[in-house]
Structure 1
Amino acid sequence: MGPLALYDLINRTTDLPAVAERALMYECLTGTDGSFGLPEGAVYRSIESEAPLAEADIIGVSITNGGDLPAFFRMLDLAGIARRREERAATGGPLVVGGNGGFANPEILGDYVDVIAMGEGEDSFLELIRAADRHRTDGTTRDDLMVQIARVPGLYVPSLYHAEHAPGGGISGIRPTSMTVPAKVTPQFLEVGDLHSAHFVSPITDGNRAMVVPTLGCRWECHFCNLGVPPFRQAPFDLLDSYLDRLEATGVSQVIVSSPTFTQYGKRHALLDRLKNYRTASGSKVTTIIGSVRADELSARYLDAVTELGDFGHLYTELKLENTRGIITIAPEFAAPDLVRIYNKTMTPQRVAKAINLCRDSAGIANIMLYFIVGAPGETEADRLAIADYAVEVFENLRSEDGAVIVKLQQFMPTPNTVSQRLDMVDPLLIDGYIEKIQERFVELVGVDAFDRHYRLIWGESSRLLLESVCMRGDRRIGRVLERLHDDGVDFGRISDAEFQQALASHGLVHTRYLRRIPLDEVLPWEVVNTVDVAAERKLIADIDERVPGRSGTEAGDDASV
């Protein structure tokens, strides 16, 4: 919702010398040969006024995940905008500003973007717009403008920081190029009263769907998850209530409650009652799509309220799967209780079992989706196989003849600005083998027929994971690698390991440098924006090494777990 919040805020701020418009990259622009581009003679335009993007003063690029960073080159090419910042500076091209989770490590595209907004941009982005407007009339140079922008809290200007690259990958140091530029850039997170309303309620609807975001952040701080990085905040109930009034008047038939921490919302029962009344008053079918819930926060009252909504589902399964309404999603992450503790999760098997018992007693719950991580440091093969045992036990406790347990597996990725950011990771090419053994364990436990009827196993593609493994923790040379692959016409959704390794080698980079554990005394590529407490990192590393004696993770790649 962040980009939409900025879009709405800019257009509602009357004293701001700017208007915001949207532009999307449509998959229909992909040709049968895999090429991506506009029809001959067409111009990449905004949705609202159909203005050419190349004529904009500022281009904001929102990328959700590191593996999607190659889309940056597609977008600028479609718009006819120079990719590299120095080329745009020389020709007076637009400022390009990056934001969202894909830029958690801001160094990857440091040679291409002018500015990266870290955290929430309600304050910082508006200050950037005002600075750019002053620059148009005060006769200052573009370099002067960049220095002004760098002084705005939360804005990182890569051109004003010099990184010393280490052989094979990573950096040995990074420093500002001027005394007037801050050595650290702290991501900005605002108080509820300072956040624009569109952070909590979607300012746009297609007439059929709309979204509410009751919570931001999380009360818990799991070591691998960036959801707990921003402070936990709750939407004012009056705001959500009045928004639903407007949706009711509009006739919207699907309301998405987008919040993985919805069970932490203090007014959740009031909101569920309001949604039930919405459905009743509409006189027609209204679907409610709710995000994941924490098993340790589940209650009978909550489940009763959800099932009373009638037709409800989960956001991921709604988009990706069929026939999975009446679903509750829980994220144990690990089958081994001590791994749950080591990674600061609170989802113990006992708490999950209690939640499943509540689901069993609720007439509307037929399906459970479980999230698990594979390839985490400290994990063993026995821990991975235990995922199948865990899921089978959940299904047996659910006691639903027509029900299903969906197991969604995700590879462990050390995310910047989390306590696990320095940990090693498994070569993504090994993950398919892990999944195959987990599936074999399922069949061993329940047989082929029961597995096909009652279980689903979902995981990501190895090609995407290859990209994420370097985009999460790479340096600016990775941006050059992505650009080369883009120019070579590589399909990033199907990139082979050979193509990937060759592209890295052409820039003097070695994949295992990005898979290894980063020592505590080594400078991180994203050091300028890093806020993690090193004591917490040290304790996590010690706990992992104590669990599996003899592993250090410093030469990862073949198998970072055991």
Structure 2
Amino acid sequence: MNVLSQIEPLLLQVQKPAQYIGGEVGSIVKEIQNVDVRFAFCFPDTYEIGMSHLGMKILYSLINSRENFWCERVFAPWTDFEALMREHQIPLYALESLDPVQEFDFVGFTLQYELAYTNILNMLDLAGIPLYAKDRGEALAPMVIAGGPCVCNPEPLADFFDLFVLGEGEEVELELMDLYLAMKKSGATRQEFLRAAAQIPGIYVPSLYKVSYHPDGTIDAVTPEEGIPATIQKRVVDDLDKVFYPRQFVVPFMEVVHDRVVEEVLRGCIRGCRFCQAGFLYRPFREKSPETINRQCRTLCDNTGYQEVSMSSLSTSDHSRLEETLTQLLPYTESHRINLTLPSLRVDNFSKELMEQIQSVRKSSLTFAPEAGTQRLRDVINKNVTEEEMLRTASIAFAGGYTNVKLYFMMGLPTETLDDVAGIVRLAEKIIDCFFETPNRPKGKMVQISISCATFVPKPFTPFQFEPQVEQEELLKRQEHLLSCIQPRHRKKIKVSWHTYEISRLEAVLARGDRRLSTVIEKAWRSGSKFDSWSECFHYEIWEQAMSECGLDPAFYANRIRAYDEVFPWDHLDYLVDRAFFVRENQKAHDAKTTPHCRSACAGCGINRKLGRNCF
């Protein structure tokens, strides 16, 4: 049932109607009679955000590379179009066929951010799919699944999903769909398929595990049913030069957040920053060769017509052959007038030569992420960046024509003091002084420092998963102290911003939560909560009320210290980094001792040992 006739009369009543019609260049439409398995890839946020997501681009092309599989895109409708959909009884639909999502075999969500959880329920409801997995009967379809970084602790959503995919999806996704097709042909029930899927490495079926609790609310045990694995190990792609990568992206009709070619140059991170979940979730560290990067960039630019390429990674300048890569790629980008951007550059390996290579095609603000204002606190978080390195890099950049510097910090880090907070301003002022001390700086221009302070959120699978989040009253005290430290003569040169505390607190609650939060999420959604990551839509009082009605305390999840031997909601999920390593790193943090990055010395995280790989 195509919904085109229903939506056409409504499109001019909403903002950005192009996001609801499909038909973009690069989108893939197949003859339904030739398709055996249909996959609805659902991004639980708006089109302009979801169309920027690299994971969707990869899996969309991968699944569609199989003639008998069809992957289509689905995004959360903004509130104006949702209201019209509900008024006119239009179900949630996919963009390629404009068919209702309920008709698909798989309804797959990517979990990128905890504050999108209510959007998932809203999309399921719009699709006419029962919210709870237990209410979907024995029919095989639709099978509601999820992947992405938040799957490292999916327990707050466990009651809503049939299964989760842990780790990297390029190989396991097709394995899962092949199994589904075989069991679909044999007439298998939903439960039969789920038990079989649970045997695929990397597949977690939450309904096959029982959680018990201690009287104090902490977890006693997570117990699998007979014949089901006790732990589920994430999937890892071994060779990035051989793994599937798209030759074409869907090119949107409207502007999206990252409207460009995105080339993934490496996965993982060698650094080991103790607050950074991505740095541990995406281990081990793997690079693409310069030849592969060059070939894929050229192919994507030629096929999409994009005039900008972004090299994507957690730390682009840690690529061991970056300058060689740029030497190969720059003649093409320069001759075709393609802008090349290199986000995630490290200040400790930012060289004059690197700046000279990129400045001809990229001139914008310089971005540092010191994360902490003093060397002591940077040692606590294992940032392994010194003030001297930052000032040296700033000097190189100022000499190269840069005048704007963005500095990213976190407040509320473990062991943080008011002196650490004041150190944020001291560092900004030293960078200002560095600008005026640079002889060949841009003349007639003023330096501008933008300080952004996020509230620290303790996350699973990090050395700080044991730590409490700072209370709001204390955070406000530190924010006021920060502002008071800015000298009057620098107030026009330094701009400060920070995130809303309540948003960070909810993120902490959901990040380290357990299955009891499923009812909280449902209550919050039924009370009107959605698009919680959008400040104009966020209402923390709804969540407070939902927690209270469920007899749960946000402080239990966000603001308490967790013992090293506590059973965490995610302990049955194996992301291959040893828990003993996280404990050691946490202890070193409290002693303000650093750990060298992976190329300097192996810290014994355990992941390469488990995978049978060699460390550097």
- Alignment TM-score, normalising by the size of structure 1: 0.85
- Whether contact under 8 Å (2:92, 2:101) holds in the other structure is yes
> Per-residue displacement from partner, 1:234-255 (whole Å, max 9, x unpaired)?
2233333233333147532222
Q: Which runs of 5+ in 1 are unaligned?
A: 313-324, 548-562
Tell me the distance in 2 between the aligned counterparts of 1:145 and 1:389.
59
Partner of 1:138: 186
Partner of 1:478: 517
- Whether contact under 8 Å (1:406, 1:456) holds in the other structure is yes
Letter in 1 for 2:482: I
SS at match of 1:371: strand
Report the CA distance shift for 1:301/1:110 in structure 2 as closer, same or farther (over 3 A): same
Partner of 2:251: 205
Tell me the distance in 1 between the aligned counterparts of 2:137 and 2:567.
30
Partner of 2:556: 513
Give the alignment partner of residue 116 of structure 2, picking from 56, 60, 68: 68
Partner of 1:367: 404
User: Which one is further off, 52-61 or 137-146?
Assistant: 137-146
Give the alignment partner of residue 196 of structure 2, picking from 145, 148, 161: 148
Partner of 1:161: 209
Shift of residue 430, structure 1, vs aligned partner: 5.0
Partner of 2:238: 191
Tell me the distance in 2 between the aligned counterparts of 1:135 and 1:223.
43
Tell me the distance in 1 between the aligned counterparts of 2:134 and 2:467.
34
SS at match of 1:198: coil
Partner of 1:464: 503
Tell me the distance in 1 between the aligned counterparts of 2:381 and 2:70.
44
Shift of residue 502, structure 1, vs aligned partner: 2.4
Aligned pairs for 1:100-139 within 5 A: 100-139=148-187
Q: Within the alignment, does 1:355 sit opposite 2:355 as a pair?
A: no
SS at match of 1:96: strand
Shift of residue 170, structure 1, vs aligned partner: 4.1
Shift of residue 193, structure 1, vs aligned partner: 4.8
Shift of residue 532, structure 1, vs aligned partner: 4.2
Shift of residue 2, structure 1, vs aligned partner: 2.2
Shift of residue 69, structure 1, vs aligned partner: 1.7
Shift of residue 90, structure 1, vs aligned partner: 4.4
Q: Within the alignment, does 1:421 sit opposite 2:462 as a pair?
A: no
Aligned pairs for 1:370-389 within 5 A: 370-389=407-426
SS at match of 1:476: coil
Partner of 1:489: 528
Q: Within the alignment, does 1:441 sit opposite 2:524 as a pair?
A: no
SS at match of 1:457: strand
Report the CA distance shift for 1:244/1:511 in structure 2 as closer, same or farther (over 3 A): closer
Give the alignment partner of residue 397 of structure 1, picking from 417, 434, 444: 434
Letter in 2 for 1:539: R
- Whether contact under 8 Å (2:375, 2:387) holds in the other structure is yes
Aligned pairs for 1:225-244 within 5 A: 225-229=276-280, 230-244=283-297
Tell me the distance in 1 between the aligned counterparts of 2:522 and 2:341.
38
SS at match of 2:228: coil
Tell me the distance in 2 between the aligned counterparts of 1:497 and 1:252.
40
Tell me the distance in 2 between the aligned counterparts of 1:429 and 1:486.
28
Partner of 2:542: 499
User: Which one is further off, 353-362 or 519-528?
Assistant: 353-362
Q: Which runs of 5+ in 2 are unaligned?
A: 1-53, 254-258, 593-616
Tell me the distance in 1 between the aligned counterparts of 2:302 and 2:446.
34
Letter in 2 for 1:211: V
SS at match of 2:164: strand
Q: CA RMSD in A?
A: 2.6
SS at match of 1:421: coil
Q: Within the alignment, does 1:334 sit opposite 2:386 as a pair?
A: no
Shift of residue 206, structure 1, vs aligned partner: 3.8
Shift of residue 83, structure 1, vs aligned partner: 1.0
> Per-residue displacement from partner, 1:144-185 (whole Å, max 9, x unpaired)?
21111111111111011111134565422211122x111111
Tell me the distance in 1 between the aligned counterparts of 2:432 and 2:105.
55
> Per-residue displacement from partner, 1:322-342 (whole Å, max 9, x unpaired)?
xxx522212111122122223
Q: How many residues align?
A: 519
Tell me the distance in 1 between the aligned counterparts of 2:386 and 2:122.
44
Tell me the distance in 2 between the aligned counterparts of 1:539 and 1:432.
31
Tell me the distance in 2 between the aligned counterparts of 1:340 and 1:27.
40
- Whether contact under 8 Å (1:167, 1:509) holds in the other structure is no
- Whether contact under 8 Å (2:138, 2:189) holds in the other structure is no
SS at match of 2:409: strand
Q: Within the alignment, does 1:25 sit opposite 2:25 as a pair?
A: no
Tell me the distance in 2 between the aligned counterparts of 1:238 and 1:149.
37
Partner of 1:182: 229
Tell me the distance in 1 between the aligned counterparts of 2:86 and 2:267.
37
- Whether contact under 8 Å (2:381, 2:589) holds in the other structure is no
Letter in 1 for 2:581: A
SS at match of 2:74: coil
Letter in 1 for 2:415: G
Partner of 1:555: none
- Whether contact under 8 Å (1:375, 1:425) holds in the other structure is yes
Over the matched positions of the two proteins, sequence identity in percent amounts to 25
Shift of residue 294, structure 1, vs aligned partner: 1.0
Tell me the distance in 1 between the aligned counterparts of 2:346 and 2:370.
9
- Alignment TM-score, normalising by the size of structure 2: 0.78
> Per-residue displacement from partner, 1:413-452 (whole Å, max 9, x unpaired)?
121112221211113565454333312322xx244xx423
- Whether contact under 8 Å (1:256, 1:290) holds in the other structure is yes
Tell me the distance in 2 between the aligned counterparts of 1:21 and 1:292.
31
Shift of residue 36, structure 1, vs aligned partner: 8.8
Letter in 2 for 1:536: F
Give the alignment partner of residue 256 of structure 1, picking from 306, 310, 330: 310
- Whether contact under 8 Å (1:168, 1:513) holds in the other structure is no
Q: Within the alignment, does 1:13 sit opposite 2:13 as a pair?
A: no
Partner of 1:4: 57
> Per-residue displacement from partner, 1:434-484 (whole Å, max 9, x unpaired)?
333312322xx244xx423x2222322233213201111000111210110
Aligned pairs for 1:313-332 within 5 A: 326-332=364-370
Letter in 2 for 1:344: N
Tell me the distance in 2 between the aligned counterparts of 1:242 and 1:546.
46
- Whether contact under 8 Å (1:168, 1:509) holds in the other structure is no
SS at match of 1:368: strand
Letter in 2 for 1:415: K
Partner of 2:455: 411
Shift of residue 366, structure 1, vs aligned partner: 1.9
Report the CA distance shift for 1:441/1:36 in structure 2 as closer, same or farther (over 3 A): farther
- Whether contact under 8 Å (2:112, 2:149) holds in the other structure is yes
User: Which one is further off, 264-273 or 479-488?
Assistant: 264-273
Tell me the distance in 2 between the aligned counterparts of 1:429 and 1:21.
46
- Whether contact under 8 Å (1:67, 1:465) holds in the other structure is no
> Per-residue displacement from partner, 1:107-159 (whole Å, max 9, x unpaired)?
11000111111110122221111121122122433222111111111111101
Tell me the distance in 2 between the aligned counterparts of 1:36 and 1:195.
45
Partner of 1:557: none
Tell me the distance in 2 between the aligned counterparts of 1:330 and 1:476.
38
> Per-residue displacement from partner, 1:394-422 (whole Å, max 9, x unpaired)?
22213364222222212211211122212
Tell me the distance in 2 between the aligned counterparts of 1:218 and 1:107.
26
Partner of 1:528: 572
Give the alignment partner of residue 582 of structure 2, picking from 534, 537, 541: 537
Letter in 2 for 1:367: N
Shift of residue 28, structure 1, vs aligned partner: 5.6
Shift of residue 92, structure 1, vs aligned partner: 4.8
Report the CA distance shift for 1:496/1:529 in structure 2 as closer, same or farther (over 3 A): same
SS at match of 1:147: helix
